[in-house]
Structure 1
Amino acid sequence: MIATVSTVAYLGLEARAVEVQCQMVAGLPNLIVVGLADKAVSESKERVRNAIAAIGLALPPKRITVNLSPADLPKEGSHYDLPIALAVLGAMGVVDSEALSHYVVVGELGLDGRIAPSPGVLLAALHAGGLDMGLICPAAQGAEAAWAGNVEVVAAPSLLGLINHMKGQGVLRPPEPGSVEERASGPDLRQVKGQESAKRALELAAAGGHNLLMSGPPGAGKSLMAACMPGILPDLTPAEALEVSMVASVAGTLEGGRMTRARPFRAPHHSASMAALVGGGLKAKPGEVSLAHLGVLFLDELPEFQRAVLDSLRQPLETGTVTIARANSHVTFPARVQLVAAMNPCRCGHLADAALACSRAPRCAADYQGRLSGPLLDRIDLHVDVAAVSAADLSLPPPAEGSTEVAARVARARAVQTARFASHGIRTNAEADGEVLEAVATPDEPGQRLLEQAAAAMRLSARGYTRVLRVARTIADLAGATGVTRHHIAEALAYRRAAPMR
């Protein structure tokens, strides 16, 4: 007799079907797991053996073979423990294999029979829903799985509790979806004194999803303004919140099944490795650029990051995805992020102040800024210089406008973009390209002449030319204009660098 149980293998945000097959035959007593399993899966036979012993059962003195099919698909993670245990119990006749055939099963087992959480339960629930099957998962992740919608979820605290449920004794209650977290309060733009041009650039970046680089001396307010960005961005839509939660589920950071409507804000330290930033590692986990999907990736002290690490962001910033290549598979994670970066003009930070600048100025500025590659800078739509804040500025009363007022304008501009690109699968102006961009951002005749002249004088690349049009479209949206004019092009060009910094 062969007992089968359905489970999944995770490849990025894709859950692929895996069948756990168990057969018992006469021979030397042994439990073997085959099917291209990694170390965690190979060790599961010891956890399964002890978990079954913990509920008062013993494996029969036979040769027990567990096959994870398809055999050429890599199997990673501890979530195979529970399906392997149920396949073994099905082959022993303890549980009904026919009843198990209607469920996808995931979960890690403890030696005492408890079912422990494992990453990716939300993906497994969505996969089960697509197959019109139910899901068996750990009790601690029932609220997470319930977000998948019309899927029967059995959230079991232990192996014994699950067996009793399958036999109709001690039936488990279906879990409710987790709570929705309230937006956390953060810094308000009213705390920023002066810096009107930088705040305008921040508003443009939020309204159109554009990348932003702020350059200025220490203490000018760059990090504070970046921290204000979540407060002016609109909430995630339900569909976007599900996307973000799927990434968090795979990363194992979706605690208690709690979803959030606030956009992610990730601020890794400049010592972060390439695997930490774009993803990778032994099990190809999502990196910071994927954990910030549909939100903000803030890189403070930009030139202090390793150059190879920064250049690894070039593809995600362009395509909105990051692909991690392995010898036996390729894993793709979403990475539609808004890059906000801050940097000093030089190592000492006081290039513009002769009284404070170091003795190596301006050569130190060229060396410091030279750590950033031209292709990376070309992918940043808005470059803004942030001036030093004087004592007189700090004594001024708070600005009349704060994050609430700016957020209202940003929300209106985003609503216009959502309606405009509804049939194209595009969310913001920063994603528009090709004919779609030409149809909505082609400037009037004076604006086109100015753009052509500036492109020649500033030696803009084709990418730079396109990004000027995107920013100009966002400026027009904030102004409530239907078309792009010379005025909008002129402001967009003001945020563009003529050439990479050297």
Structure 2
Amino acid sequence: MPLATVYSRAKLGINAPLVTVEVHLSGGLPAFNIVGLPEATVRESRDRVRSALLNSRFEFPVSRITVNLAPADLPKEGGRFDLPIAIGILLASGQVPAAPLESLELIGELGLSGELRAVDAALPAAVQASIAGHCLILPAANTGLASIVDDTGVREADSLLAVAAHLHGQHSLPFARASEEPIDSEKYPDLSEVRGQVGAKRALEIAAAGGHSLLLSGPPGTGKTLLANRLPGILPPLTEAERLDIATVQSVAGQALRLHRPFRSPHHTASAAALVGGGSHPRPGEISLAHHGILFLDELSEFPRKVLEVLREPMESGEVVISRAAKQLTFPAKFQLIAAMNPCPCGYDGDENKDCRCTPDQIQRYRGKISGPLLDRIDLRITVPRLPPGILQQSCQAETSATVRERVCAARARQYQRSPNINARLSADEVATLCALDTPSKQFMLRAEQKLGISARAHHRLVKIARTIADLDKAENIALSHLREALLYRGEI
């Protein structure tokens, strides 16, 4: 048959729209044209496909070949269309049967020898193919990622010859192998290794229980980074939905599959585009790679102010929208911000043991890199003081991460009984209904607003922190003591 139709999937953010690959063979001078808004990498597939077919002992048609990638207004990029184009040529020239292709989708980059190489964004394609009721053939290097989706019907192939043999019914391709890596397989440092800092550990536990953002401030060497690195070890296990979301972002970013909560720690020289994502072909940034995990910004005041300001909208919405002239992409960004900073450029402002050498103007400029709107969005703000002399030599039995994690998981379970959202992500309406205050608590909040000038956003965040503290205390309602403790963590930095 001179006309053949094969199905594939494009990459559009975290989505994988269907692409119909139409191949037509006609008379005239030999030519090989690809239409349908292909980019340079897709146009170069002509040479890869020709060599792969010849080296796989197939006949390359000596005719005018036209390949149409529909829809025509969707930009096509990458080498993911090599395999469907090659199969389309074989189908149009009668070298493979047409029947198996009706409910089949193919994605893969071809080497000149006919081998299949991995492509990015394989997982969204597997999910969309499953929804459509189609079987998806992927390179074997990709199937460890795609097979975490149940019942997708994903098959793996290592060469063009293997796909052709499957279509002929001579040798069926194996189904994708599930990843052998268990969820939460990462070994995190234990909280018991941190000596002292009882107040900071309490704030860390509250942050883990409610998903709240946290800012640690204090002199150098007091354990701010040490504490932040132990937060993943006290967070609850991943749910199946979170696991799929994380793997989807990793697939789109072309990263290896890691089935534990992300912990991203970009250097303070990172650009705004590195944090939120971007590029001519937009890719996820650090805040999307930290989806359902932690974004740790060490030396917060060393980040340029314009870089930090890009965090404000994603912290509220849980997503980032990247707009380009040709398209607009949305990446998920439900991350937990943990930050650490020194109180001044020299680091010793307020330290009783060392004198600060900074002038008031220097301190003001240093702290001014963190704007008021951004600081207002950080739930917990706590000072990590210098440890008393000799405490590191004392033998003491501190709580382990496993013990704290049990309390955190119990608090999260109470939150999910009330709402599908954790406390930090409750809407204003949910705060009014699920975090009701009694009369003494309302009077306390009124006095706090009058004396401290608390904004409406800060009011809601205080109530949500108090709700988390109540969950840790196994209390049904928010008490005045919970609000008082919550107010301690909203201090000025």
What corresponds to 2:274 in structure 1? Answer: 276
1:229 maps onto 2:223 in alignment: no
Give, in angstroms, the shift of residue 354 of structure 1. Answer: 6.7
What corresponds to 1:405 in structure 2? Answer: 403
User: In structure 2, the residue corresponding to 1:61 is in which secondary structure?
Assistant: coil
What corresponds to 1:444 in structure 2? Answer: 438
More displaced 10-residue stretch of structure 1: 332-341 or 101-110: 101-110
More displaced 10-residue stretch of structure 1: 231-240 or 181-190: 181-190
What corresponds to 1:122 in structure 2? Answer: 123
Give the structure-2-normalised TM-score.
0.96
What corresponds to 1:81 in structure 2? Answer: 82
Give, in angstroms, the shift of residue 449 of structure 1. Answer: 0.8
Amino acid at match of 2:252: V
Q: Could you tell me which of 478, 481, 486 is aligned with 2:475? A: 481
* Contact 1:471/1:492 (8 A) holds in 2: yes
Query: How far does the alpha carbon of each residue in 1:158-215 deviate from its partner, in whole angstroms, 9 at most, with x for none?
Result: 0011111211223222232111335222221111111111111100000000000000
Amino acid at match of 1:314: R
* Contact 2:13/2:330 (8 A) holds in 1: yes
* Contact 1:26/1:62 (8 A) holds in 2: yes
Amino acid at match of 2:277: G
* Contact 1:351/1:361 (8 A) holds in 2: no
Amino acid at match of 2:121: G
More displaced 10-residue stretch of structure 1: 149-158 or 287-296: 149-158
* Contact 1:216/1:222 (8 A) holds in 2: yes
The aligned runs of 1:43-58 (5 Å cut-off) are: 43-58=44-59
* Contact 2:345/2:358 (8 A) holds in 1: no
More displaced 10-residue stretch of structure 1: 56-65 or 354-363: 354-363
User: In structure 2, the residue corresponding to 1:448 is in which secondary structure?
Assistant: helix
More displaced 10-residue stretch of structure 1: 482-491 or 225-234: 482-491
1:266 maps onto 2:260 in alignment: no
Give, in angstroms, the shift of residue 309 of structure 1. Answer: 1.5
What corresponds to 1:71 in structure 2? Answer: 72
State how far apart, in whole Å, the 1-side matches of 2:405 and 2:151 are. Answer: 35
User: In structure 2, the residue corresponding to 1:313 is in which secondary structure?
Assistant: helix
State how far apart, in whole Å, the 2-side matches of 1:30 and 1:408 are. Answer: 66
* Contact 1:218/1:349 (8 A) holds in 2: yes
What corresponds to 1:216 in structure 2? Answer: 218
Query: How far does the alpha carbon of each residue in 1:71-118 deviate from its partner, in whole angstroms, 9 at most, with x for none?
Result: 111112221111111112211111223321211211111111100011
User: In structure 2, the residue corresponding to 1:186 is in which secondary structure?
Assistant: coil
* Contact 1:448/1:486 (8 A) holds in 2: no
The aligned runs of 1:310-459 (5 Å cut-off) are: 310-353=308-351, 356-422=354-420, 426=421, 428-459=422-453
User: In structure 1, the residue corresponding to 2:230 is in which secondary structure?
Assistant: helix
* Contact 1:219/1:389 (8 A) holds in 2: no
The aligned runs of 1:62-211 (5 Å cut-off) are: 62-181=63-182, 182-211=184-213
Query: How far does the alpha carbon of each residue in 1:376-429 deviate from its partner, in whole angstroms, 9 at most, with x for none?
Result: 11110000011012432222223431211111110100011111114xxx2x10
User: In structure 1, the residue corresponding to 2:65 is in which secondary structure?
Assistant: strand
State how far apart, in whole Å, the 2-side matches of 1:195 and 1:151 are. Answer: 48
Amino acid at match of 1:344: N
* Contact 1:348/1:357 (8 A) holds in 2: no
Unaligned runs of 5+ in 1: none
Give, in angstroms, the shift of residue 364 of structure 1. Answer: 2.1
What corresponds to 1:9 in structure 2? Answer: 10
Give, in angstroms, the shift of residue 61 of structure 1. Answer: 2.3
Give, in angstroms, the shift of residue 492 of structure 1. Answer: 1.0
Query: How far does the alpha carbon of each residue in 1:445-498 deviate from its partner, in whole angstroms, 9 at most, with x for none?
Result: 111111111112211221111111110100110011111121111111111146
More displaced 10-residue stretch of structure 1: 138-147 or 340-349: 138-147
Amino acid at match of 2:483: I
User: In structure 1, the residue corresponding to 2:330 is in which secondary structure?
Assistant: strand
* Contact 2:195/2:398 (8 A) holds in 1: no
* Contact 2:441/2:483 (8 A) holds in 1: yes
* Contact 2:232/2:261 (8 A) holds in 1: yes
* Contact 1:142/1:155 (8 A) holds in 2: yes
Amino acid at match of 1:19: T
Give, in angstroms, the shift of residue 243 of structure 1. Answer: 1.2
State how far apart, in whole Å, the 2-side matches of 1:409 and 1:353 are. Answer: 33
What corresponds to 1:242 in structure 2? Answer: 244
Unaligned runs of 5+ in 2: none
* Contact 1:351/1:362 (8 A) holds in 2: no
User: In structure 1, the residue corresponding to 2:284 is in which secondary structure?
Assistant: coil
* Contact 2:344/2:358 (8 A) holds in 1: no
State how far apart, in whole Å, the 2-side matches of 1:194 and 1:380 are. Answer: 24
Amino acid at match of 1:101: E
State how far apart, in whole Å, the 1-side matches of 2:344 and 2:77 are. Answer: 45
Amino acid at match of 2:43: S
User: In structure 1, the residue corresponding to 2:200 is in which secondary structure?
Assistant: helix
State how far apart, in whole Å, the 1-side matches of 2:474 and 2:93 are. Answer: 70
State how far apart, in whole Å, the 1-side matches of 2:180 and 2:255 are. Answer: 15
State how far apart, in whole Å, the 1-side matches of 2:341 and 2:226 are. Answer: 13
What corresponds to 2:289 in structure 1? Answer: 291
Amino acid at match of 1:254: A
Give, in angstroms, the shift of residue 347 of structure 1. Answer: 1.2
State how far apart, in whole Å, the 2-side matches of 1:43 and 1:278 are. Answer: 31
Number of residue pairs matched by the alignment: 491
State how far apart, in whole Å, the 2-side matches of 1:491 and 1:94 are. Answer: 74
State how far apart, in whole Å, the 2-side matches of 1:252 and 1:367 are. Answer: 39
What corresponds to 2:35 in structure 1? Answer: 34
Give, in angstroms, the shift of residue 239 of structure 1. Answer: 1.8
State how far apart, in whole Å, the 2-side matches of 1:179 and 1:58 are. Answer: 40
Give, in angstroms, the shift of residue 355 of structure 1. Answer: 6.3
Query: How far does the alpha carbon of each residue in 1:311-357 deviate from its partner, in whole angstroms, 9 at most, with x for none?
Result: 11111111101111111111111111100000011111111237644
